[in-house]
Amino acid sequence: MLKHLTIFSLLALMSSCASTDKPEDKLSGSVDSLLSLMTLEEKIGQLSLYTSDWDVTGPTMREGYKEDIRKGRVGAIFNAFTAKYTRELQQLAVEQTRLKIPLLFGYDVVHGHRTIFPIPLGQAASWDMEAIERADRIAAEEASAEGIHWTFAPMVDIARDPRWGRMAEGSGEDTYLGSQIAAARVRGFQGKGYGDVGAVLACVKHFAAYGAPQAGREYHSVDMSERMFRDVYLPPYAAAVKAGSATVMSSFNDYDGVPATASEYLLNEVLRKELKFDGFVVSDYTSVMELIPHGVAADTASAAALALTAGLDMDMQAGFYQDALPRLVKEGKIKESLIDQSVRRILRKKFELGLFKDPYRFSDTQREQSTVMKPEFLEAARDMSRKSIVLLKNEGGDKAILPLSKNVKQLAVIGPLANARRDMIGSWSAAGDWKKSVTLLEGIKAAVSPATKVSYAKGCSITGDSTQYLAEAIRLARQADVVVLAVGEGGLMTGEAASRTSLDLPGIQQRLVEEIQKTGKPVVVVLMNGRPLTITWINDHAPAILETWYLGTQAGHAIADVLFGDYNPSGKLPVTFPRVVGQVPIYYSMKNTGRPLEVNNKYTSKYIDEVNTPLYPFGYGLSYTTFSYEAPVLSSNTMTSRDTLDVSVKITNSGSKEGVEVVQLYVKDEVGSVTRPVMELKGFQKVSLKPGESKEIHFRLCNSDLSFYRKDMTFGSEPGKFRVFAGGNSRDVKQAEFELK
């Protein structure tokens, strides 16, 4: 035990002898100095991460994690929060272990910590990078004020199969949008840079291609061509690494037959060599252990050796590094230098967070009390929630049912999600206090005039077939002037381990909708869901439909803001809505095939029982006003790979209300050495327009926008004809052409 010199002063002394005073070298000096003092067991302790018992986010718990801390057998704890509790655990490490190395505290702060923002799929529907970055900045402020150093976010897995429940946690189907959001979220979490006490380490996940499990079934195998991986799934991870994500989490799935957690190709080749990632890689929950059921490891020792050799630095919750590495080193099967390499990567982050200077700097109850759920955070959440809402239907032009009047006499609020407090914060809602979330019923009551009579009936449960509440709902609907009907999935029916084989409304909700429709009253359907749902009947019968995802703490107020026109909806779908689950996977950037659809030609690519088109296309969303587009104007009809091409799009607010539109720019490569998608998003801009106002929106295309993995797997463009599309979604577009010389 070090008697007089504490480890910190010893390190200061040793690192002051570092070769140069460049911060980088000094830091390396400190890390190497500390490493030189560590025993093999202490090193392996730094490679182990265990959950506390404050939250459950996986299949196993760790009895005696406090003892692990005392014995230096663990370097990081997750699912522990509050300044008080993290301080208590930190004391065990810093006061009771030989080298007093501080713990790292991680948590799934995915869409807010205490103030909960819309689920990430909902935030993606805002197409608002500033708002998304701000949401995660606030999440980081709150989390770091509760002792958390590290969030297991952003999740950037591209997802094109809504049967997979974790589509809710990401940014949807598109590579370009997903990459922009990935970078914005890393900036949000890491702020001015980790080391700032209001920032947390980001952890881009799940590397890689976890969003493409076979049949949308959770944890299922992933198999795709390297071209598909590199063109579609890899870029968002790359964008997050480029934005400086401090850490990466390996995914549960195998890729090309090798579990990501033990994939030298993914972790060393792609992540470290190609993407120049220099942080540390943590496994997903027990995924080192899962190499055994994957069938690539026969026992603990081979699983640990495979993962460490592949570049997996930290073992989350399996305890396989702790159990097997000492012996593997002693038997000469694993070099200690490999362990040193991973320990260095982890210690660097602890130094960069300032934990060796002050291990308790994040565990400050004063800061916690003054930071958590500040009014401006709640206002930001309401703003983000409003921006996430997508208006899917509002028929009738000037006579449309929305926006509603606040002076409506009788308003019936019906449905199992109309007053569902817990569901508002959705899955992965960290330490969010659901008891503080605002329900739709409360939001409506707060918005309408005192003269309005608001009635409420559940109508039915989210799941189950009981019809006992139906009659009351029908009765209230009959008495009302207008009905707001909230249906969808339970807040935990998406997220991890929540795949579904159907995308229909669960339970008897469809029956509820039909019964309310039969009353003949004007109905606004408010959807609450974490994935696209097959709501074709609702689309055919309801006059108005709002997609509201799970909007978080301020859900009710945000939906009311849109319902009553205090906010003109501007959201656009980040995922395609199928008509039926049999169309899945369905997404806008499909291939044309050799027999593209000809409706009257049997021998073309189609179904015999359903059309090819989705119910709602990617990028779709309406407004209380209308926008008209002119065809894109190009600065030239040719360009070379060395220059750029300017595209301007004139858009006009042709309606009667001020509104915000997301102008989208798509590109199609007409002929390539391999088949190319019918179009790909290459730019978007949000623009606000007053009634009658027009604006020119400018985009600049460069060679990288036209580049892809060619037949020989080199990345680049190919000369030939291209089409440019511009519009308010991926279907209703105007176009122009140019040639790449």
Closer residue to ligand GLC (CB): 115 or 286: 286
Closer residue to ligand GLC (CB): 194 or 285: 285
Closer residue to ligand GLC (CB): 46 or 287: 287
Task: Report helix, strand or coil for 533.
Answer: coil
- Nearest residue to 264 (alpha-carbon basis) of 230, 309, 300: 309
Contacts of 436 (CB under 8 A, 6+ apart): 373, 553
In sign, the C-alpha dihedral spanning 353, 357, 359, 363 is negative
Query: Distance between CA 558 and CA 440 in Å, rounded?
Result: 9
- In the complex, least distance from residue 106 CB atom to ligand GLC, rounded to whole angstroms: 8
- In the complex, least distance from residue 652 CB atom to ligand GLC, rounded to whole angstroms: 44
Query: Distance between CA 225 and CA 609 in Å, rounded?
Result: 30
Q: Output the CA angle 290-295-299, nearest 5 degrees.
A: 65
Contact between 58 and ligand GLC (CB under 6 A)?
Answer: yes
Closer residue to ligand GLC (CB): 203 or 413: 203
Closer residue to ligand GLC (CB): 152 or 627: 152
Closer residue to ligand GLC (CB): 81 or 699: 81
Is residue 685 a contact partner of residue 738, using CB atoms and an 8 Å limit? Answer: no
- Helix (H) / strand (E) containing 228: helix 226-228
Q: Which two tokens stand for residue 460?
A: 């039915």
Size of residue set near ligand GLC by CB under 6 A: 8
**What Cα–Cα distance (Å) separates residue 586 from each residue in 153, 173, 174, 546, 674?**
26, 9, 12, 22, 20
Closer residue to ligand GLC (CB): 57 or 644: 57
Contact between 218 and ligand GLC (CB under 6 A)?
Answer: no
Closer residue to ligand GLC (CB): 303 or 706: 303
- 127-156 residues near ligand GLC, rule: CB under 6 A: 152
- In the complex, least distance from residue 266 CB atom to ligand GLC, rounded to whole angstroms: 16
Contact between 280 and ligand GLC (CB under 6 A)?
Answer: no
Closer residue to ligand GLC (CB): 314 or 477: 314
Among 141, 284, 313, 368, binds ligand GLC (CB under 6 A): 284
Closer residue to ligand GLC (CB): 108 or 547: 108
Query: Distance between CA 308 and CA 665 in Å, rounded?
Result: 43
Task: Report helix, strand or coil for 539.
Answer: helix
How would you write 544-576 as a 3-class SS string?
EEEECCCCCCCHHHHHHHHHCCCCCCCCCCCCC
- In the complex, least distance from residue 272 CB atom to ligand GLC, rounded to whole angstroms: 21
- In the complex, least distance from residue 57 CB atom to ligand GLC, rounded to whole angstroms: 3
- In the complex, least distance from residue 205 CB atom to ligand GLC, rounded to whole angstroms: 6
Is residue 363 a contact partner of residue 147, using CB atoms and an 8 Å limit? Answer: yes
Is residue 721 a contact partner of residue 737, using CB atoms and an 8 Å limit? Answer: yes
Is residue 274 a contact partner of residue 264, using CB atoms and an 8 Å limit? Answer: no
Query: Distance between CA 483 and CA 525 in Å, rounded?
Result: 8
- In the complex, least distance from residue 661 CB atom to ligand GLC, rounded to whole angstroms: 34
Contact between 285 and ligand GLC (CB under 6 A)?
Answer: yes
Among 8, 10, 54, 57, binds ligand GLC (CB under 6 A): 57
Contacts of 384 (CB under 8 A, 6+ apart): 117, 118, 123, 126, 128, 131, 132, 134, 135, 552
Question: Active site residue: 284, 561, 669, 705, which one?
Answer: 284
- Nearest residue to 390 (alpha-carbon basis) of 135, 182, 662: 662
- In the complex, least distance from residue 51 CB atom to ligand GLC, rounded to whole angstroms: 7
Is residue 46 a contact partner of residue 19, using CB atoms and an 8 Å limit? Answer: no
Closer residue to ligand GLC (CB): 279 or 488: 279
| Strand duo 482-488 + 523-528: pairing | parallel
Strand partners, 90: none
Among 68, 157, 496, 661, binds ligand GLC (CB under 6 A): 496
Query: Distance between CA 78 and CA 70 in Å, rounded?
Result: 16
Contact between 108 and ligand GLC (CB under 6 A)?
Answer: yes
Binding mask 620-659 for ligand GLC (x = CB under 6 A): ----------------------------------------
Task: Report helix, strand or coil for 411.
Answer: strand
Angle between helix axes 129-145 and 175-190 (nearest 10 degrees) is 40
- Nearest residue to 354 (alpha-carbon basis) of 364, 342, 366: 364
Binding mask 170-209 for ligand GLC (x = CB under 6 A): -----------------------------------x----
- 542-561 residues near ligand GLC, rule: CB under 6 A: none
Name the residue with tokens 């009351």.
472
Query: Distance between CA 417 and CA 488 in Å, rounded?
Result: 7
Task: Find the radius of gyration of the CA atoms of the chain.
Answer: 27
Contacts of 178 (CB under 8 A, 6+ apart): 124, 156, 158, 170, 171, 172, 235, 236, 239
Strand ranges of the sheet holding 203-207, from the earlier edge strand across to the other edge? 203-207, 247-250, 280-282
Residue 315 is among the residues annotated as catalytic for this protein: no
- In the complex, least distance from residue 658 CB atom to ligand GLC, rounded to whole angstroms: 40
Query: Distance between CA 515 and CA 487 in Å, rounded?
Result: 13
Is residue 505 a contact partner of residue 490, using CB atoms and an 8 Å limit? Answer: no
Closer residue to ligand GLC (CB): 261 or 554: 261
In this structure, which long-range contacts are made by residues 351-358, counting pairs with CB atoms below 8 Å and at least 24 apart in sequence?
A: 351/27, 351/30, 351/31, 352/27, 352/194, 352/195, 352/246, 353/104, 353/149, 353/194, 353/195, 353/201, 354/195, 354/197, 355/102, 355/104, 355/149, 356/7, 356/8, 356/11, 356/30, 356/102, 357/8
- In the complex, least distance from residue 429 CB atom to ligand GLC, rounded to whole angstroms: 13
Give the residue numbers annotated as catalytic, written as ranges: 284
Residues that bind ligand GLC (CB under 6 A): 57-58, 108, 152, 205, 284-285, 496
